[in-house]
Amino acid sequence: MVLQKRLDYGFNGYQVPPTPRATRSARRRVPFRKNVDDNQMCAFDLLATVAGKLLLEGENSPSSGNALTGKELCTIVKDSFKKEQKDEDNPSKAEPCDQGTCDGSFSFSELASHAPALRHSLKEFSHAHIDDCWGLASVITTSDCSEKVGSADKSKSKIQLGSFASKLEVGYQESCDFTVGNENKKQIKIESPKTGNALNVTKADICSSDDLAVRDRKPPALVSVNNRVKLPSCIDQIPSSSFPACRDDVKLVIRDDDENSSGCSQPSTTTKTFGSPLCIGNRRIRKFFSSKYWKVTPKLKDEEHFNADSEIKPVYHNRKICYKRRRSQRDYPFKKRRLYDRSSVSNFEGISREGISSSPRKGFSCDASGSSATPCGASGISACVAGQHTSFQSRDSHVKLRIKSFKVPELVIEIPESATVGSLKRTVMDAVTAILGGGLRVGVLLQGKKIRDDNKTLLQTGISHNNKLDALGFSLEPNPLQAPQSLCHEDRPFLLACDTPRPLTRYPLAPSVVHNVVQQRSADTLPDPPLSSLGNFIESDHDSAPSPPDMSIDKSPTHSRALVAVPAMNVEALAVVPMRKSKRSDAVQRRIRRPFSVYEVEALVQAVEKLGTGRWREVKLRAFDNAKHRTYVDLKDKWKTLVHTARISPQQRRGEPVPQELLDRVLTAHAYWSQQEAKQQLKQQHSETCRL
DNA sequence: CTTAGGG
DNA sequence: CCCTAAG
C-alpha cells in the first residue's frame, strides 16, 4: 500500500536537463537507460503487484530460487526512494512544482536498478496473480493435427457477440488437451473458471517427452489445437504480443474444424495442474494462422529483440541491432506475397484498392499436418445461431437474432517447447486477439449458403420472420480491410486470406479492442502512471497488440518471445498482403496510424514535464520504452500536435478527446520549457558577448 | 543516431 | 506519420 501510494505521485517538478544541449554525447554515455528496459519493468511490476493492483501474467517459472523476502523488497524500494529523493532534490527546488507533489517520489529508473534482485521476488509476488490477468484465456481443446478421433467434439470455445453491440464479449472455454508430437498424447487440461480467471496450467507437459526434449536444435513440435474459443469478457486483460525470438518451437494448430461439435459449451471439470513450469530455452513462438484465414508475418523485428536478449547489454547495442534487423528483414518470405484470384475477388474491389489482395480459394486443404478437417469453403469462424433462442421475430417485421457463439478459425501456432505456459497463453491469446481485434467481418449463411450480396434486403434474402431463421448462420471472417489495423504493425504485417469473399453484414468488431485493452489496463493498474512506467503498459501491440506489463516476467535470459504467425499451408494461394501503389515493390509501407491513448498522452506529458521538449530520446526511454511502436520522433510529433491541440478550441479537436487537464499541462510544460530554452539562449548570447 | 521542422 | 537536414 505504501508503495502504491508512492506510485501515485503526480508531477514532480520540472527537471533541468543535466546540461542542456552541449551534453548530448555525455548523456548518451550515461547509461540512463541502464536498467530501464528490463528492470524497470520488474520494479514496477513489483510495486504494482505488491499493491495488489497489477495483475501479472507470466511464465510460471519456478526459478525463483532466491526470492527476496517482502522485507528485503521493502528495503530496496525504500532505498530507491531515498536515493531518488536525493537526486531530485536539487532540480525540484529551483523548478516550478505546480502539481504540488514535490515531496518524495521515486523514479523507476532508480528502483529499476534493483530489478535484477527483485525479479525473482516478483515472480513470487506475481504468481498469485498470474491467472487473474489472463482472463481472456481461451481454453482450447487440442488434439493432434490429424483427425484424431474425439478431438473434435471437445472444442467448445466460442466467441460471443452481445447482440450486435460493437463490443466483443469474450466468454470462454473449458478444457484443452495438447497433443505433442505424433507420439504420446500428452494432455493438458486447462480449465478456465467462469470468473475469468484463466488457465490453471502451471506446467505443460509439452516438453517432457523425450522426443520433445528441450534441446536446442529440435524441430518444432506440432501441436494441434482443435477448438472453439469462447472469449471472456475481460478484454482488458488481453496481453500484448511481444515475443522474443528463439529456436525450438511447438506448433499449435487451433482449428475450428470440429464440425461434429455442437458448439455448445460445457464447462470442463477437469483441471490438471502441473508441478513445474515448462523448461525454457530459447523460444520462438510462431503463430500460424491457418493459411486460409490469416497470415501474420513475424513481428519480431527490431524492437522485438530489444528487450529480449538484452538483459545486460547496453541500450545502444540493442538499438543498433534493432535497426539493422529492421532493414534486413524486409524480405521476409511472407511479407510480400500476393496473389490474385480475379474471379473470386471480383466483388472485393474495395479490398484490392485498399492494397490488399486476396486469393480466396475454395478447395484447398487446410492444415500443415495434413488434416484438412475444415471444408475449405467454411468460414474462418462460424457461429451457432441455432437453438430455440437463436432467432425469433418481433411484430414489426424486424428480425431478431441471437448469436450464441462464434467459432474461432483455425490457428496454427508454433512455439518452442521450452516456452512457458505463460507464453503459450499469450501466444494463443495473441492469435485470438489478432483475429478478434484484427478485423473480422461477418458472413451470413442461410441454410448453409453464404449470402454475398450485401445489398439484398433481409426479406429478399429470405431472412425474414417468415422463414426459418434456424437456418441462419453467421461467420466471422478475416476482414482484409481491418485486419491490418490491429495486429499488423509495421513490422508485423498481418497477412490474411480468406476464402471466397462473402461480405455481408459488416460488423464493427472493435478494431480497438487492443487499444482498449491497453487503456483499461493502464487505468486499472496505473491511476497516475509514473513516468517510465506507463510505457510499459503501452504497446504492446498489439501489437498490439499490446504487450502487457508482464513483459518483464518473460524476460528471463533465454526466452525471447517471437510471435510469428504464418500460414500453415498453401501460403501462396492465400497470402494476402498490402499492395503498394505499384511503385517500388520494396517500398516500405507506411506505418499504421495509432492514435495515442489518453494514457499514453499522460505518460508523454509527464515525461516532458520532467525532461523537457528537447530530449525525446530520453522521453521515449523513460515513458515509452516498451512501446515499441512509438519512436522518439513519434513522441515529438505527438507533443507537437498536443501543443497544437491544446491551443485550439475544443470544438476543433478531433479524435479521442484529451482531458483538458492534460492539455493544460501540455501548455504549461511547453511554456516552461520554451522559456527555459530562451533563457538558455540568452545565457549563451551573453557569454559570447562577454567574450567579445 | 538524435533533433527539429516542414510536409 | 513521413522525410530530411543538421549536428
Query: Could you tell me the three cell numbers for A461?
Result: 434474402
**Is the CB of residue A358 less than 8 Å from the CB of residue A341?**
yes
Q: Fill in the amino acid letter for A185.
A: K
Asked whether residue A342, judged by its CB, lies under 7 Å from any atom of the DNA or RNA strand C, the reply is: no
The gap between A638 CA and B3 C1' (Å) is 15
Fold of A597-691: Serum Albumin; Chain A, Domain 1 (1.10.246)
Q: Which pLDDT tens digit goes with each residue over A12-40?
A: 455 544 433 333 333 333 333 333 333 33
Count, residues in chain A: 692
Amino acid A670: pLDDT: 93
**Is the CB of residue A266 less than 8 Å from the CB of residue A574?**
no
**Is the CB of residue A13 less than 8 Å from the CB of residue A95?**
yes
Which residues in range 592-611 of chain A are in contact with strand B, contact meaning CB within 7 A of any of its atoms? none
Amino acid A621: pLDDT: 92
Query: Could you tell me the three cell numbers for A300?
Result: 519480431
Amino acid A604: pLDDT: 93
Asked whether residue A630, judged by its CB, lies under 7 Å from any atom of the DNA or RNA strand B, the reply is: no
Where on strand C do bases come within 7 A of a protein Cβ? Answer: 1-4
Nucleotide nearest to A632 (CA to C1'): B2
H-assigned helices in A101-161: 108-112, 115-130
Residue A675: phi and psi, rounded to 5, are -60, -45
Q: Which residues does chain A have with pLDDT short of 50?
A: 1-12, 16-395, 481-585
Strands A294-296, A283-289: pairing kind: unpaired
Q: Is A572 helix (H, G, I), strand (E, B) or coil?
A: helix
Amino acid A602: pLDDT: 92
Which residues in range 244-263 of chain A are in contact with strand C, contact meaning CB within 7 A of any of its atoms? none
DSSP A484-527: HHHT-BTTB-EEE--SS----S-----TTHHHHHHHHHHHHH-S
Amino acid A611: pLDDT: 92
The gap between A270 CA and C1 C1' (Å) is 50
Amino acid A678: pLDDT: 82
The gap between A667 CA and B3 C1' (Å) is 21
Where on strand B do bases come within 7 A of a protein Cβ? Answer: 1-7
The gap between A640 CA and C6 C1' (Å) is 20
Contact partners, residue A677, CB within 8 Å, separation at least 6: A613, A614
Asked whether residue A340, judged by its CB, lies under 7 Å from any atom of the DNA or RNA strand B, the reply is: no
The gap between A329 CA and B7 C1' (Å) is 28
Nucleotide nearest to A641 (CA to C1'): C1
Asked whether residue A590, judged by its CB, lies under 7 Å from any atom of the DNA or RNA strand C, the reply is: yes
Q: What order of strands is seen across the sheet that includes strand A472-478?
A: A405-406, A381-384, A472-478, A440-446, A449-451
Residue A118: phi and psi, rounded to 5, are -80, -25
Question: How many Å separate Cα A118 from the centre of its chain?
Answer: 25
**Is the CB of residue A658 less than 8 Å from the CB of residue A598?**
yes
Amino acid A476: pLDDT: 66
Burial (CB count within 10 angstroms: exposed 0-12, middle 13-18, buried 19+), residue A461: middle
Q: Fill in the amino acid letter for A293.
A: Y
Query: Could you tell me the three cell numbers for A358?
Result: 486476396
- C-alpha count within 13 angstroms, C-beta hemisphere, residue A250: 40
Which residue's C-alpha cell is 540493442? A318
Amino acid A516: pLDDT: 30
d(CA A638, CA A387): 50
Asked whether residue A323, judged by its CB, lies under 7 Å from any atom of the DNA or RNA strand B, the reply is: yes
> Which of A148, A565, A575, A184 is CA-nearest to residue A370?
A148
Q: Domain segments of chain A: what residues? A: 2-130, 135-582, 597-691
Amino acid A62: pLDDT: 31
Q: What Cα–Cα distance (Å) separates residue A476 from each residue in A158, A376, A443, A445, A689?
A: 11, 14, 6, 11, 71
Q: Is A622 helix (H, G, I), strand (E, B) or coil?
A: helix
Q: Fill in the amino acid letter for A285.
A: I
The gap between A449 CA and C4 C1' (Å) is 55
The gap between A641 CA and B7 C1' (Å) is 14
The gap between A593 CA and C3 C1' (Å) is 17
Query: Could you tell me the three cell numbers for A480?
Result: 482484409
Amino acid A635: pLDDT: 95
The gap between A238 CA and C1 C1' (Å) is 27
Nucleotide nearest to A617 (CA to C1'): B2
Question: How many Å separate Cα A482 from the centre of its chain?
Answer: 16
